[in-house]
Chains A and B, each alone.
Chain A
Amino acid sequence: MRYIRGFRDGDVAASLAQLIRAEVDPARDYHLMEFCGGHTHAIFRYGVEDLLPRNLRLVHGPGCPVCVLAMPRLNAAIDLALEPDVTFVSYGDMLRVPASRGRSLLKARAQGADVRMVYSALETLDIAETHPDRQIVFFAIGFETTTPATAHLILEAHRRGLRNLSVYCNHVVTPAAIQSILDSPGENDSPQVRIDGFIGPSHVSAVIGSAPYEAFAQSYGKPVVIAGFEPLDVMQAVYMLVQQINDGRACIENQFTRGVSREGNSKAQALVAEVFELRPSFEWRGLGELAHSAMRIRAAYEDHDAESRFDMKEAPVRENAACQCPSIIRGMKKPVDCTIFGTLCTPRSPIGSCMVSSEGVCAAYYKYGRTKTALALAADGRGLSA
């Protein structure tokens, strides 16, 4: 527990806050995006924002795999789960995500679909071995943290000759999403989201290393500090970013030295390279079609690719007009800017994906931030759009 509790110490947090206040230039403001939903939750759970100066804003990024899954892909998954000979295997977070016409995997299960929840992708192997007469489909979602696990699952299914096991692959890549935010031209009614630096994800980076972010420092002049998921990690990363911005530097720095190297995990990377290749283009919820932003299964493992085994249709869908998830995912709006936040859309009956996932921004605001009154939010200046 030392390596968890040690990074949550309140006295150190107060000292780091003091350091940050001393470093921050009161004559300017700072907009830092934490890419990952894990950081968003650490920030809310430990009240990190309240320790930061007013002129330092944290902009919440799209690093929540459940939130960025495009609705047509989710609809296709539910259609497949409803097939009588299919057992559909998913991580727990996906079960309650609302699809078109109020459907979800959980509701499909209530209608009789065989939908199973697993903690590890490898549990799918046992299910496939126990039910050789059924088609077992694993719903693979996530950033680079979960991709190697899916690769290992496919290799094991291949080795064991489990012909009834296939994977519906929705794995996405982090650098493509960061690039899309930096390239985003902004919406008609709001300018491009301003970002002075990034708090980089720790566990994604444990796999891919810190090298893939170097282009953002070089081409866009944006500093990136890779940070661990504990509150002191986040605060130290904020301090390091403020120092870089004040010095006019844009480098890749690593706060999470205990888990991340420049090269990353070569074994995990080799698993991914063996099984997957980049798709030419992939649709993200909130970010649209992004080139080279997602993985698909290589032809050598086509036997385990649900998209070639089944006739999966992706029909275009209309999003709920009131739901602001697409703008929230891009960091352009905050949950409190959404008229249905906390009223029609709650964790118990979510409308948008940002409210469902335990990493979603709306879920974090609802769980930790909704007790702040509108007045306090206005005085704070933080609850409202930047």
Chain B
Amino acid sequence: MVFSMCLAVPVRVIALLGQDWVDAEIGGVVSRVSSVMIDNVSLGDYLIVHAGFAITRLDVVEAEKTLVLFAEIAAHLQRAEHALHPRVS
């Protein structure tokens, strides 16, 4: 397994095991994660996990805002491009 020191992935909590341990899933892979650094973890939360520890909760509202912004940028520029190069059909 390739280990990268500062890389971390967002995983979804699927089971609360007590004593600051959770099971978390991404793409069908389940791993046991220490949640000792996170307050009040709930089922369905997304955590950013690094070397077996959740280092922060992934803020789903903020993630969606960023994705909406990306979609708007792409749509806006595509419209601008079509205005410059109208399709002849």
Contact = CB atoms under 8 A, between A and B. Distances in A.
A91 B39 contact: no
A1 B63 CA distance: 12
Nearest to A10: B74
B73 to A, nearest CB: 5
B36 interface: yes
Interface residues of A, number: 57
Given A1-B27, A3-B63, A258-B66, A142 B6 contact: yes
Interface stretch (A61-69, A214-222, A274-282, A328-336): A61-69
A357 B5 contact: yes
Category for how many chain B residues contact A: 35 or more
A9 B75 CA distance: 13
B50 to A, nearest CB: 5
Contacts of B27: 1
Nearest to A206: B56
A148 interface: yes
B37 A63 contact: no
Interface string A5-23: 0110101101110110000
Given A357-B5, A358-B4, A16 B73 contact: yes
B64 to A, nearest CB: 9
B5 A65 contact: yes
Interface string A103-122: 00000000000000001111
Contacts of B50: 145-146, 149, 203
Interface string B15-46: 00000000000110000001011110000001
Given A9-B70, A357-B5, A257 B52 contact: no
A267 interface: yes
A291 to B, nearest CB: 23
B53 A149 contact: yes
A38 B51 CA distance: 14
A229 interface: yes
Ordered nearest first, which 6 A-B pairs have the shortest CB separation? Answer: A120-B52, A258-B63, A206-B56, A258-B62, A257-B62, A92-B3
5 contacts: A3-B63, A145-B6, A149-B50, A236-B66, A259-B48
